[in-house]
Amino acid sequence: MRIPHLINGQAIAGRDHFDSINPANQQVLATVAAGSAEEVQLAVAAAKSALPAWAGKPPAQRAKIMHRLGELITRDQAELARIETADCGQAIAQTGANLVPRAADSFHHYAELCTRMDGQTHPTPTHLNYTLLQPVGVCALVAPWNVPLLTASAKVAPCLAFGNTAVLKPSELSPLTAARLGELALEAGVPPGVLNIVQGNGRDAGAPLVAHPDVRLVSFTGSTATGHAIVRNAGLKKYSMELGGKSPFIVFEDADFERALDAALVMIFSINGERCTAGSRILVQRTIYPEFARRFVERARRIPVGDPLDPATVIGPMVSQGHLARVRGYIELGLQEGATLLCGGVQKPDYAPEVAGSVRDGNFVWPTVFADVRPDMRIMREEIFGPVACLQPFDDEADAIAQANDNPYGLASYVWSENAGRAHRVAAALEAGVCYVNSQSARDPRPPFGGVKASGLGRDGGHWSLQTFTEPKNISISYGQHAIPRWGL
């Protein structure tokens, strides 16, 4: 299969190519066009010339097209889930039931919201101020590899619904579903040039895209290090930055133990642990810590690892051999730092069944749990982005808050307590953009999503995406009788 760029509604083969590899068996899934400044230039020019007509469409017409695109994603849901799973290694049970349907939801949600955009009026005795929400212009949408269709949709849907045009750069590690999204957009009636896709890596395609002078906004999801590099390179633009995380999952002794245990396992082992909201620092009150750790490890050892296309699989292969080496490197580091390995490890543990022959060469990491982790250890401070949990006891509420906040990141957080007052107090005190109480992450398209500290800038979701993807303009009109100084008469 060959995957081209999508520029001005045309499939552009490009001069250079790279292979997209199936992480379950190392086979080539597709040969993908590798973009450079040349394709970026064409794509930005196409987005710029498509902007006036698209921004000038009545919102109801844009909404109709966005709804249609959501319906097409639902029509092709099974195929998209299979492509996504083959490309990035996420288990089909999660791509099919959760990640692809949520991509469709994004288009329906922003289709509705764009028809309800309204400004404000601020009258004075002499002037009427009113606010127009206008599209920002040409937007660069740069996506990571972990949940590619969902992230692309969460950017493309509000961007287009609110009247902007876009150049999307998917990750070079999982480019396939974004390419399908481009085809579906054309089928839905998105005019040529409104959504362009330049494939390729960060250095050759991403960097010239974000730095392009006609790009007015960069909506980026990816690592904190790349976020810094983009701001340095792209200069003064509007930014939305959804970056890394090392989220605390806090379990008090008065929590519903069984539900907390279930959710703790889900939040570190779902999406292969390759999720920005992973509850990777599991902080448990000392009184229940030994029992929690024992039960957590007992369950973690039994989680099925293997062929991501098997509906029974929970953890599929890491997205690439490079990322596999990185995750294994952190496991080795944890051992060197003196943490205690309770299960998993660098290689397949003896208690785990062999994976099937056809995926024997997959980039697998088995659920790995460290205990006796100190707050200063790198495995406790840095984002591993794999199925690796760190368990740590705490003494009381103040200690839990202090440990949770002792980290550079501030994306998600989780609090488990049946004491409502404590749950509210701790949720308010945590340095995080999102806090789930007595729950795993439960995303809704309306509330704000994003991080503080090293986890990012700005918020996505509902009205917060409206703020990102529009510029408010104040228009101040005089009633014609206010005083104007008459200098120089």
Residue 407 in the binding site for ligand NAD (CB under 6 A): no
Region label for 89, one of left (φ > 0), alpha (ψ between -120 and 50) or beta (otherwise): left
> Amino acid identity, residue 477?
I
Asked if residues 16 and 36 have their Cβ atoms less than 8 Å apart, the reply is: yes
Residue closer to ligand NAD by CB (options 72, 230) is 230
Which of the residues are catalytic?
A: 242
Angle CA 143–147–152, to nearest 5: 40
Number of alpha helices (DSSP H) and beta strands (DSSP E) in the chain: 16, 23
Residue 469 binds ligand NAD (CB under 6 A): no
Say whether residue 90 binds ligand NAD (CB under 6 A).
Answer: no
Stretch that binds ligand NAD, among 98-106, 164-172, 328-336, 480-488 (CB under 6 A): 164-172
Among 7, 24, 142, 373, binds ligand NAD (CB under 6 A): 142
DSSP letters, 28-63, are EEEEEEE--HHHHHHHHHHHHHHHHHHHTS-HHHHH
Q: Quick one: which of 411, 426, 430, 432 contacts ligand NAD (CB under 6 A)?
A: 411
Stretch that binds ligand NAD, among 60-68, 103-111, 138-146, 330-338 (CB under 6 A): 138-146
Q: Which is nearer to ligand NAD, 306 or 461 (CB)?
A: 461
Q: How far is the CB of 65 from ligand NAD (least distance, A)?
A: 26
- If one asks whether residue 330 binds ligand NAD (CB under 6 A), the answer comes out as no
| List of residues 6+ apart from 383 with CB closer than 8 A | 223, 224, 244, 245, 246, 280, 409
What's at 397, amino acid-wise? E
Say how far apart CA 198 and CA 143 lie, in whole Å: 11
In the list 105, 172, 204, 307, the residue contacting ligand NAD (rule: CB under 6 A) is 172
Q: Which is nearer to ligand NAD, 20 or 417 (CB)?
A: 20
In whole angstroms, how large is the CA radius of gyration of the chain?
24
Answer yes or no whether residue 98 interacts with ligand NAD by CB under 6 A: no
Of 209 and 355, nearer to ligand NAD (C-beta) is 209
- Which of 84, 87, 242, 310 is close enough to bind ligand NAD by CB under 6 A? 242
State the Cα–Cα distance between residues 220 and 239, nearest whole angstrom. 8
CB 222 to ligand NAD: min, Å: 3
What distance in Å separates the CA atoms of residue 311 and residue 93, rounded to the nearest whole number?
5
CB of 411 to ligand NAD, least distance (A): 6
| Residue range at the interface with ligand NAD (CB under 6 A); choices 84-92, 166-174, 350-358, 386-394 | 166-174
Give the CA angle between residues 400, 403, 408 to the nearest 5°: 140
Q: 137 or 222: whose CB is closer to ligand NAD?
A: 222
Least distance CB 416 / ligand NAD (angstroms): 22
Per-residue CA distances from 133 to 55, 263, 466 (Å) = 11, 40, 9
Return the number of the residue (39 or 172) whose C-beta is nearest ligand NAD. Answer: 172
d(CA 184, CA 87): 18
For residue 126, the minimal CB distance to ligand NAD (Å) is 45
Piece in contact with ligand NAD (CB under 6 A), picked from 59-67, 105-113, 144-152, 257-265: 144-152
Distance CA 327, CA 346 (A): 9
CA pair distance 416, 432, nearest whole angstrom: 16
Least separation, in Å, of the C-beta of 206 and ligand NAD? 2
Q: Is 283 exposed, middle or buried (0-12, 13-18, 19+ CB in 10 A)?
A: buried
Q: How far is the CB of 415 from ligand NAD (least distance, A)?
A: 20
CA angle 153, 156, 157 (to 5 degrees): 75
Q: Which residue lies nearer to ligand NAD by CB, 201 or 439?
A: 201
User: What is the phi/psi pair of residue 419, to 5°?
Assistant: -90, 110
Q: By rule CB under 6 A, what string of x and - marks binding of each residue 247-276 to ligand NAD? A: -----------------------------x
Size of the site for ligand NAD (CB under 6 A): 30
Query: Residue 143, interface with ligand NAD (CB under 6 A)?
Result: yes
Q: Vertex 413, ends 411 and 414: CA angle to 5°?
A: 160
Give least dist CB 216 to ligand NAD, A.
Answer: 16
Among 244, 248, 317, 461, binds ligand NAD (CB under 6 A): 244
Rounded Cα gap, residues 401 and 412, in angstroms: 14
Give the footprint of ligand NAD on residues 174-233 (CB under 6 A): 201-202, 206-207, 210, 221-223, 226, 229-230
Q: How far is the CB of 264 from ligand NAD (least distance, A)?
A: 19
The alpha carbon torsion through 37, 465, 102, 137 (nearest 10 deg) reads -30
Q: How far apart are CA 48 and CA 131, in angstroms?
A: 24
Give residues in contact with ligand NAD (CB under 6 A): 142-146, 151, 169, 171-172, 201-202, 206-207, 210, 221-223, 226, 229-230, 242-245, 276, 383, 385, 411, 451, 456
